[in-house]
Every structure is written in C-alpha cells, then in structure tokens.
Structure 1
C-alpha cells in the first residue's frame, strides 16, 4: 500500500468514529464512554508504526511530556469518592488524543479530495444522529417550558455535545455545498440535509455548537473565496445565497417548533421575555473558580481531574479547556497553550496550501471554549489543520503543430 494511502486510511477511520461518537454515547452503543477517543488514538498509533512521524513534531512531543506532571500531582491528592483511573481518562484522553493525532498528521501529504472524502465519512454518522433525533423526539411544544438547554430535543443526552456534533455536521455539508455540488440535484440534496441538521442543532437550545459552526464556516468561506479564481467566485456567490436561504428556513422552522422560545434563547432572555443578567449561563463563575486554582497553585497546578472537585465542595465538570489547563497544570499549562497556538501557525508560515487551515483551527478553539474536550472532534480537527494538502494539476492540452510543406 502506498504511503499516502496509509495516511488516508487512518484519516478516514478516525473521521468516521469522530462523527459517530455522540451517537454511540446517546444510544449506549459503545463499549466505553471514551471509546471513540481511544479508537482515534489506536488508529494514529498504527499510522505512526507504518508511516512514522515528521521531524517537525518535537513541539507535540514536548506537549505530551508536559501533561505528565499533572498526573503525579493528582495522585497525591486523591479524593475518597473519586475513581482515579476513570477521572484521568475523562480529563486526559482528549489532550492525549490531540497530541498523538497532531504528531501523526503533521506534514503528511494528502490530496484535496481525500479531505473532502474524510468530511463525507464524518458526516454519515451525523446524518444518522439527526435521523435518530427526529424519530426520538418528534414533538417539542409540550416539552419546551424554558429557554435552558433541552435534553428532550437532544435525544435525552447532553445538549452541549449533541449541539457540537451537529454543528460539525453543518460545517461538513456546507463544504459539500460549496465544493462538491456541481449539479442542481446535488445542491438540493446537500441543502436539504444542511437545513435538517441545522434545525436539530438549533433546537437543542445549546448555543455553543451552533456558534462554533458559524465561526468555522466564516473562516472557511473567507479563505475559499479569496483563494478562488474569478470564474469560481461567481459560483461561490450563488452557493452563499443558497446557504443563507437554507439557514433562514432552519431558523424559521425552529422558531415555530419551539413557540418562539429559541428566539428568546439567542437574545439572552428567559421564557417570560426578561433579559438575563448572565450571558454565560453560570460558566463565568466556573472560569473564575478555575483561575483561582491557578493562582493558588501557579507552578504545577492542582493536578489532573481535580478541577471538578474544587467548586466549593461540588463536583462540576469544566466547560473551558483553556482555564482547565491553567488550573490543573499551572505554569506548564501556559507552555501547553503556547505550543497549541503557535506550533500550527509556525507550520502555516512555510506551508499555506491547506485551504481548511483556519476553519479547522477555528472549530478547535471555539469548541474547547464551550465544551472543553468532551468529544474527540476538536482534537481530530486540530490535527487535520497540520496536513500538507496536495492539489491536482489540471492537464494542459496543447494543440499539435502541423508543419506546412
């Protein structure tokens, strides 16, 4: 098997299980809660065995090493009612998945069409998730009583995770609408699925996934438009009109289905129309609490997984990966953040071919700020930003010169 084919195979396998992760969790169809992250880790380790890693990967080796001290600190401060192995797996499986994925995908050459196929592989289980939600919760008017995140409309599972994965589906089908819809039939086909997934994402009442999708799509379209030739730009403009129309339809249907509650949710009002004082729905207090943990233990932090036990005696899982890194890793968390931010930008300075670079990084950054690293998607997309994408050159057709005698 060619080397590039091995990379593509790993990427396709990872993409499928990243897309299916939330579906497996909500239907209890997985052998373990973190199974998709473990599978991504397994696939990239197999890829490293057969393909090796880039000699540019030393920042991510350093990143993985910097995660170790927090494990040692956590072992010194075990809580009586805590499961050390389970807590570590929940907190560190995401960061480890990111580090190993970045190590493997860094500077690997893949074709542009392979990225499109990977997004298609990822979107198929997301379509299944959307269908499951349509079947599981067909009626909303009787279940929606407030503007809070709604478990009924998200299949009885965490609205935050469902919103995030559906937001990723919105992005995947937006890419297909702009790049893989040459015919009218495909435009209609992709627009229908785009609208349905957007509708289900909106009515979870969890804004994070929808906002992350919007940021990711804007980053993609900005680069895609300015990198396109003039003839393609006119086609992009048509697709933008179709996209905006699809989103308007999704919003109007969502508003009708929720009896106007979704409009109040996104304008930060309660069910009675009163404006809420806290736009962050209590997460600002959690962030400040985590920053307090950093100030109290600035050198090595409070230890991996201990943030959830540092909430005035309550066990609450963090929503923000940035402040969790600072609280649990101390000053090492600052070095980790510097690596995660500047390593891809440094790589980008010498390789500007990846048209999805800023979109993938935007999804990673937006997601870890509202859902931490609960699912494997932000880790996987961060790694995809590090690929060396090869574009196929169009063959040149030269006219044969016929000499006149």
Structure 2
C-alpha cells in the first residue's frame, strides 16, 4: 500500500483534494478520523515497521491533525497527538531496532511530568484537561525524539515522510476554499481572519499552510517528483502561499519564509551553484513573491500591507505589533524570577487572573511557559532542546544541514508564536535529530 501511494503521488493528491470537499458533509469527518488511526495501526503491526511505516503514518497524522480538528473528525480533541505517540511507540518496539537510546529525552519526559506536582486549578476547572492541554505537545516531542534520535533515515525516505505529511494539507486548503465566503463580501481588517480559515484558529491554520509551503519548496528545489509536472508543483505552492496570506496570521508565514531562507542557503552550498544560476532563481523568486503579494493585497483592499507592517485599519502604526505576546512573555519571565521552582503545569493563566494582569490568555509561547511553569527545571529542559539538534547539525554535511536547520527553525519559531497546541512542532523538532543518509550504488553514505 505504501509503495502504491508513493508511485502514484498525483493520484493521491487529487484524492486528498476530494477529501477536502467531502469534509463539508456530515457523514465524512468521523469516518475519516477513524481511518487515520485504525489503518496505520494495522499496517505498522502487520509490517513490523520494516519500512518506517511508523514514521510515515505519524507524519501523515501530523499533517492531518488541524484538518481533522476543523471538520470535527476526532472523538477527542487531542487525538492527533495521541496517534503520533502511539504510532512511534509501536515503531520503537516492533521491527528492526534502529535508534540509539537517548537518556536525555527520557529525562526530558520524566522532568516534564514532575511539574504536575505543583499544579493547582480553580474550583470548577478540570485538572486533567489543564494538564493534557499544556503537556500533550511536549510529550509528543519527547516520544518523537526517542524514536528519531540519531536514527539513520535515507534522504528518499525523509522525502517520502514529507510527502505523507503534505497529503492531508491539500485536503485542508481545499476545505478552506469551500468554507470561505465570497472574498468580496468579507470586510478585511488587520486582525487574524476566521472568515478565511473556515472558522478555525487562524494561527494554527497558518502554521499548517506554512508547513505545506516549506514541503512544496523542498520538493521543487530538490527536483524530486511530486506531481511529475513542475508547473503544477509551482501552482500548488502559489495557492498555498495565497491561502496562508489570507489567514492574516503572520507567525506561520514568517516561520516558513525564514526556514526556507536557511534551507536555500545550505542547499546552494551543497549544490555549489554558480552566481548566474543563483541570480536566475532569485529573479524568479522575486517575481513570484511580488506577484502573489500584490494580487492578495488588492483582494484585501490593502489591509494585508497594514497587517504585515503592524498598522491598524486606518493605516496608523500600532504600539504593539506582537498582539500582546510580548507583554505575556514579560509576565512569564517575571513569574520565573519570583518563583524559580515553577508554579505548576497550566497555572500561568490562573496566576495572571489572580493578579489582575491585562492579559490572561493561555501562553502562545512555549519558551515562556516552560520557564514560568517548570522553573529551573524548565530552563534546563529548554537548553537541552536547543543544544541537541545543534550537535547533530555541526556534525553534518551541507545537504544534511539544509534539512536539519529547516526542521529546527520551524520548531523554534512555531513554539514562539503558537506554543505546542498541535503535534507539528514536537514532531518537526525530532526530525532535526535524525542521521540523514544518502544511498548510492547500494551503499549508505552519511558523510
């Protein structure tokens, strides 16, 4: 089954575009959500994970999580994260044992759970929900890291995993197309647009669309066969970018752009491209960016320009372009200095409520949440997360560095604007730990 999908990429892209349309009907969501869980479990067990089925299906559900949440396909809201942990856990204990054991990430998981000891919630609030909401994302990271730490994965298998991750993103953007009203009827302002994201959180949608932009660009740069037609690949990239800009949520788009700049730099070093070739690609890129920006800006009545330059609908510069995230991060570090042992998992929101702080929302920044709620232990865990991929990075060649730095930056930038609400950042982080191999003439070359 896996090979049939990989040998017929264009067919399965169109099948997933059809899934996006079917997502608008009530009979489809729950059935699709069940299939996303049951079929992978059956295949992983039946194949003993011989061909990294755990990796491929975990990648698929990472890409599908936001789409399935949008259509209400999961019986439990965090099912996507549970699925990733389950698939990778099956992969660890079944088939060839490939990964090197990492005591670092085992301690990471155990120390995370220690923060539960200090957790207290107000009367009427659910302790279980509070813990799951804040720790499920970091736990996904821990299990993913245990699976991928220095795991030898060929470049082709990595590209296969990225393709599996991309497939349900086609369903998501198709669903957005059918659920978005006529753009002429939308009054665009300078806030994130729920009208263009199917009524779902624009921040998470933009993060997923940004992931699609990154994967599509990697396929185009690597000259790997996606649809088999370069112009069709380019069209898909243009449409993903267009949908991402329409969300008016900047974090996911900025993350994609920054990650791709670094990917391009190391990929160019690896390919040893001439300045003439680089200049040609740069011209094409500039034409592409200007064209899609001008088109989208005209549709939004110029509000897109105001959004990305930090201005309000009247064109005046906003005092806080971070929409409160900067203040929230300041509060979190202040809390860390006042409570160096931490205040307990999920308690940050309630502490701000008690102190009558202006911003009481749950944290959008995982760095701030770690140090505020886990204290010094959280600070140590943060250093661990930052350092381990960099060790892998500096031991790699330029092609490997291109992928590792892309995954690393996508994780770090995402958790700084969207915390770990979804499985994506934790899973992407773990991909920066793999040992990417390249198979030539039947031999593995990982130099």
TM-score (norm 1): 0.90
Q: Does 1:390 align with 2:431?
A: no
Distance 1:54 1:395, change over 3 A: closer
Structure 1 residues 317 and 61: alpha-carbon distance in aligned structure 2, compared to 1, 3 A threshold: same
Distance 2:368 2:336 in 1: 8
- Corresponding residue number in structure 1 for 2:311: 269
Q: Secondary structure at the match of 1:201?
A: helix
1:86 aligns with 2:113: no
Instruction: Return the match for 1:44 from 84, 88, 97.
Output: 88
C-alpha contact 1:17 1:40 (8 A) present in aligned 2: yes
- Give how far 1:259 is off: 1.0
Q: Is 1:60 aligned to 2:105, yes or no?
A: yes
CA contact (8 A) 1:178 1:236 kept: no
Q: 339-348 or 50-59, which moves further after superposition?
A: 50-59
- Superposition CA RMSD, Å: 2.5
Is it true that 1:98 corresponds to 2:145 in the alignment? no
Cα pair distance change 1:170/1:38, threshold 3 Å: same
**Corresponding residue for residue 361 of structure 2:** 316
Offset from partner CA, 1:250-295 (integer Å, 9 cap, x none): 2122112111100110111111111111111111111122122212
Whether 2:348 is the aligned partner of 1:307: answer yes
1:24 shift after superposition: 0.9
- Structure 1 residues 294, 244: closer, same or farther in 2, change over 3 A? same
1:282-329, CA deviations, whole angstroms, 9 ceiling, x for partnerless residues? 111111221222122102x01001112122347511110001000000
2: CA distance between counterparts of 1:234 and 1:10?
42
Q: Is the 8 A contact 1:52 1:104 kept in 2?
A: no
Higher relative contact order (CA 8 A, sep 6+): 1
Match of 1:12 among 43, 56, 74: 56
| Structure 1 residue ranges without an equivalent (≥5) | 397-405
Alignment: residue pair count:
392
Alignment TM-score, normalising by the size of structure 2: 0.82
Q: Return the alpha-carbon distance in structure 2 between the equivalents of residues 16 and 111 of structure 1.
A: 18
* Separation in 1, partners of 2:396, 2:238: 34
Residue aligning to 1:371: 418
Inter-partner Cα distance in structure 2 for 1:382 and 1:26: 24
Alpha-carbon distance between aligned partners in 2 of 1:184 and 1:344, rounded to the nearest angstrom? 32
Q: 1:240 to 1:8 in 2, by over 3 A?
A: farther
- Residue of 316, 321, 325 corresponding to 2:370: 325
* Greater CA drift, 177-186 or 140-149: 177-186
| Residues 111 and 171 of structure 1: CA distance in aligned 2, closer, same or farther (over 3 Å) | same
Give the CA deviation at 1:81.
2.1
